[in-house]
Amino acid sequence: GNSVTQMEGPVTLSEEAFLTINCTYTATGYPSLFWYVQYPGEGLQLLLKATKADDKGSNKGFEATYRKETTSFHLEKGSVQVSDSAVYFCALSSISGGYNKLIFGAGTRLAVHP
């Protein structure tokens, strides 16, 4: 079945460091891929998405490229800020019973220190 695997956290970085959070997926067909972010005490919100191979999603300085050949969608940011501290979820869309559900990875907690 479809699944998402992302690197375990927590990831602890100093401000202005480079961030990579790895995400790989298993899926039939060509799913859309997403990164959602959950700030402390809040629900999930979309960070970025890519809907076909080689697409690059970007938002708030974060980027991820849909790599079909390596089945990956790694999240990167060149210079993290304290305000980026959150839990990041990689997800793919999967059609089941006519419904486009999301299949999530386990989440990666990021802590950025000044």
Partner 1 sequence: NAGVTQTPKFQVLKTGQSMTLQCAQDMNHEYMSWYRQDPGMGLRLIHYSVGAGITDQGEVPNGYNVSRSTTEDFPLRLLSAAPSQTSVYFCASSTGLAGGRETQYFGPGTRLLVL
Q: Which of 4, 23, 112 is nearest to 76 (CA)?
A: 23
Smallest distance, Å, CB 93 to partner 1?
Answer: 3
What does DSSP say about strands 108-113 and 11-14: parallel, antiparallel, or unpaired?
parallel
Cβ proximity to partner 1, 91 vs 112, nearer residue: 91
Smallest distance, Å, CB 109 to partner 1?
Answer: 10
Smallest distance, Å, CB 98 to partner 1?
Answer: 6
- Which stretches of the chain bind partner 1, using CB under 8 A? 4, 31-32, 36, 41-46, 49, 51, 89, 91, 93-95, 97-102, 104-107
Give, for 76, the enclosing helix (H) or strand (E): strand 75-77
Write the DSSP assignment of 11-29 as a string of letters.
EEEETT--EEE-EEEE-SS
Cβ proximity to partner 1, 97 vs 114, nearer residue: 97
Instruction: Please give the C-alpha separations between residue 64 and each of 54, 55, 79, 107, in angstroms, as whole numbers.
Output: 10, 8, 15, 16
Cβ proximity to partner 1, 20 vs 100, nearer residue: 100
Smallest distance, Å, CB 43 to partner 1?
Answer: 4
